Structure 1
Amino acid sequence: MKESDKLVVGFTTKNGGFSIEGYQTLNLGLHVQDVPSTVVANREVVAKQLEMPLSKWVCAEQVHQSRIAKVTKADSEKGVYDYKEGIPQTDGIYTNQTNILLTLCFADCVPLYFFAPKYNMIGLAHAGWRGTVENIGGKMIEKWMQEEGIPLHDIYAAIGPAIEACCYIVDDKVIDLVKNVLDDQETSFYSLVSEGQYALDLKEVNKQLLLKAGVSRENILMSTLCTSCEKDVFFSHRRDQGKTGRMLSFIGYKED
């Protein structure tokens, strides 16, 4: 990788596209009953802004689990035009190749970004509560260490916009699973709202799991934006009662 290669990374909003009704306007998800050709047109808008054509994108068939796949240029364009043609049953992707844009779709779940600049490694993960209790973030760290030989101190992580505890109420089942994955040592991630109902800070849970995996606190960034509260900025599956679009997390190295 050359010094002039440029890291492209970010998270889209709901604005600036062509979709209508509940998907207004920059819906980037192909799996939400929006018109597929409109979604592709929206993706073209983002591709043009990033100067990363759709031929370089890699998408995944996200299933709220914790499978992680290493991708290469051979995976380029997978899932761009047809959701089912994305990397199958995968919620985490990573690569050390340039001119690949890793992408995942979101509408409340936690986007996780991973970066090891000394090793040219980048990654993304999709962490809803199911992926979180399966510790997808920790599994990405473990994979980078064990399979890619990357030391912990060289790994950076960021936690993107997601639903916050103010808008995310869950039941005992979810809280018990979260407590189990954190060994019941960290209790500041939820608060009791009513009997059997809890406000859950899913971002904080993922941060604690990254810390538990060994990532240093100073190597973790966390967004303060709530996808449910920011109704003019983000789609929200909970707020919009299921009929809504999807934002895109993305990261890639663009050759100069």
Structure 2
Amino acid sequence: MEPFVHNDREETSLAPSLFFISKWMENDDRLSSGFSGRAGGVSLAPWNSLNIGLHVGDAQADVIENRKRLADGIGWSFDAWTCAEQVHGSRVARVSAVDRGKGREELGDAIAGCDALMTDVPGVLLASFYADCVPLFFYDATKGVVALAHAGWRGTVGKIAEETVLAMQAAYGVEPADVRAAIGPSIDDCCYEVDGIVIQEVKRVLEELDLDDGTARVCMRLKESGKADLNLKEINRQIMIKAGILPSRIEISNWCTGCRTDLFFSHRAEGGKTGRMASWIGIRER
């Protein structure tokens, strides 16, 4: 069953298109977590319509309006929206109460130099941005800790999933076996062909993970052309498992952003000129 449940908005509605991790939210009514689609915003082509990225050339006022619509759609104050610069690395930043709201309206005040955020502060809404890269979600109900990580191929081979778990352990005393994780809508191997340095870096990581041949082939299928079909979702799942998260506690989306440009933005399928979706996670104040 698909863990990211679409809100089934009406096509004529102004409400944003949202995909909720409903299973998590049903178990904790203070938690909000999910992923945005491309419909229900105000941006013009080629970012139409719910573009959440300030860095893609869209009008700043339109992006801010879209972000406000998303916040309203999930029942959060826009003041809580907190995000990072995102540099395709693997650094994890701890978000404190004083960081609340960073990056919500300006690129310049986003949390610098990192692709993963974590917090134990209720009332902080973490957000990050995608158009094919893999959104990773982490939630420990025992400690009241949430985290997001942005994993393109560079972040994946940098093991940002493992780095996030290690950072949660060091900062908050989180036990990996207590963590729930989710892997959101992103490009699948059906739409993601790679070559050269990407193949070499993925091979290195697969060797480090010491996977059996069958699992390794699911992660990356080498082709006679010298290229490969890459399954970033499964690689990140394997990294999560090696980091100590139980397989039964990892949700993985079936949505492919490359196949479903009716629902999502896709950098690869749309030739690089498109909008960005957002992942979000936060625990409401009591």
> 1:196: Cα distance to partner?
2.0
Give me the identity figure in percent: 42
Deviation (angstroms), 1:119:
0.2
2:170 to 143, 146, 157: 146
Equivalent of residue 162 in structure 1, options 179, 186, 190:
186
The corresponding residue for 1:215 is: 245
Normalising by the residue count of structure 2, what TM-score does the alignment of the two structures yield? 0.86
Show the counterpart of 1:95: 119
- Compared CA separation, residues 5 and 191, structure 1 to 2 (3 A): closer
- Is this contact kept in 1: 2:118–2:168, CA < 8 A? no
Looking at both structures, which has the greater relative contact order when contacts are Cα pairs under 8 Å and sequence separation is at least 6? 1
Give the deviation of 1:203 after TM superposition: 0.4
RMSD value over aligned CA atoms? 1.4
Query: What amino acid sits opposite 1:44 in the alignment?
Result: K
1:48 Cα deviation after fit: 1.0
Structure 2 matches for 1:97-246, cutoff 5 A? 97-183=121-207, 185-186=210-211, 187-188=216-217, 189-246=219-276
2:32–2:283 contact (8 Å) kept in structure 1? yes
Secondary structure of the corresponding residue to residue 183 of structure 1: helix
C-alpha distance in 1, partners of 2:59/2:70? Answer: 17
Q: Contact conserved, 1:5 with 1:255, CA < 8 A, in 2?
A: no
Q: Distance in 1 between matches of 2:282 and 2:228?
A: 37
Distance 2:272 2:128 in 1: 18
TM-score after normalising by structure 1: 0.96
2:155 and 2:91 map into 1 onto residues whose CA distance is 9
Give, as a single letter, the amino acid of the residue that structure 2 aligns with 1:28.
Answer: I
Cα distance between partner residues in 1 of 2:150 and 2:224:
29
Deviating beyond 3 angstroms after TM superposition, the runs of 4 or more aligned structure 1 residues are none
**Structure 2 gap ranges (5+):** 1-26
Alignment gaps of 5+ in structure 1: none
Structure 2 Cα separation of the partners of residues 94 and 138 of structure 1: 13
How far does residue 127 in structure 1 lie from its aligned partner after superposition?
0.2
